[in-house]
Amino acid sequence: MTHPPTGALPRLPLAGRADAGPHDSSDPAARRPGGEPPSVVALGGGHGLSANLSALRRITPVITAVVTVADDGGSSGRLRDELGVLPPGDLRMALAALCDDSEWGRTWRDVMQHRFSSTAERATSLDNHALGNLLIVTLWELLGDPVAGLEWAGALLGARGRVLPMSTQPLVIEGDVPDLPTGADPGAPEGRDRQARLRTITGQAQLAKQADVSNVRLVPPDAPSCPQAVEAVGVADWVVMGPGSWHTSVLPHLLLPGLRRAICESPARRCVTLNLSPDTETRGKTAADHLRVLHSYCPELTLDVVLADPSATEDGADLEEVAASLGAEVFSADVRAHPGTAVHNTLRLAAAYQEIFERHR
């Protein structure tokens, strides 16, 4: 076997890749002859995106995950700070979610997700690093190209789809929260005064812990979108947003100018999948309020379908009204893994997507 020289890995051929073929045509009719599965772009990050990808890979091999790159916590944050790279963690989780259920897929999924741990007696700089993060960063250093590195990682795993960063530049996410000390009474005069004032929270890891978040923004605000991500959105049959941390995983895609424009102008149908319960960032907000958040930051966004679990939508009439104002119908489906949990059942989620895609073929 001939090995490529270090730093000069050859580009993967398109033939045989899960994203080959349908991604190469801008004509929706040409991409979907007969009963071929739809081309889907899933936007997000973290566990919400992983749940989506685990479901979507069961019904179509033509998947592109477009992943947020603002994470600054844990292993990803350390690698980002020390090496100046994109935070690899959410990208790693997306790749792992696209592994199939064969022995090969399950093994590589576990390898990518494996975390090193050390003890007080034997401390190590590898503590809490995920092996997959190190593998991805290694490929980036060898290739000098984040997209090519992710393609090689996906080929190694046999991933059923493609994983792309939303931007090839690490981003910082900021938001404002009421200037109210922990435990203070917001109804008291002093509390009302301080709640009227805002303080800025910088960084995804910290912002995700905050309630009453407003004025979310990316730094730099005009960062370039990943060209391959923009292209994928433009030729997709479906663009799916959510579930996930609403302000730090779902919303950022609408804050990046190039990607926002691609999402809003794409001929693809757009589906928003709602969370099973409010996260910390949206505590006190209803399912309809989640849609209002997206509209407030991107008024030109229109939708086709809002996927909601009926147990998480007590405000059914309000949700229907807000969804309709965005051009969407509400599709209700039981997608919760177990009563009382906020975890999606991937088989139920896959079945819901399958029915949605069939209805709108």
Per residue in 81-129, pLDDT (tens digit) is 899 999 999 999 999 999 988 888 788 888 888 877 765 566 666 666 7
Angstrom distance (rounded) from CA 252 to CA 219: 11
pLDDT average, residue stretch 47-62: 95
Instruction: Pinpoint the residues of the chain covered by CATH 3.40.50.10680.
Output: 220-361
Please give the pLDDT value at position 314. 73
Angstrom distance (rounded) from CA 260 to CA 245: 18
Residue 62, pLDDT > 70, answer yes
Cα 150 to its chain centre, rounded Å, is 15
* Alpha carbon separation from 202 to 71, 85, 213, 218, 290 (Å, rounded): 11, 19, 12, 10, 22
Residue 185, pLDDT > 60, answer no
CA dihedral 32→33→36→38, nearest 10 degrees, is 10
Largest CA-CA distance found in the chain, in angstroms, rounded: 75
pLDDT band at 280 (very low <50, low <70, confident <90, very high): confident
Residue 22, pLDDT > 60, answer no
pLDDT average, residue stretch 296-325: 92
Before 224, cis peptide (omega within 30)?
no
pLDDT band at 63 (very low <50, low <70, confident <90, very high): very high
CATH number of 220-361: 3.40.50.10680
pLDDT average, residue stretch 250-258: 97
Residue 217, pLDDT > 90, answer yes
Q: Are 340 and 350 in contact (CB under 8 A)?
A: no
Range in 15-19, 154-158, 240-244 the model is least confident about? 15-19
Q: Are 49 and 93 in contact (CB under 8 A)?
A: yes
Please give the pLDDT value at position 315. 74
Amino acid (one-letter) located at 302: T
Please give the pLDDT value at position 190. 53
Amino acid (one-letter) located at 14: L
Residue 290, pLDDT > 80, answer yes
Residue 33, pLDDT > 70, answer no
Range in 15-19, 38-42, 97-101, 322-326 the model is least confident about? 15-19
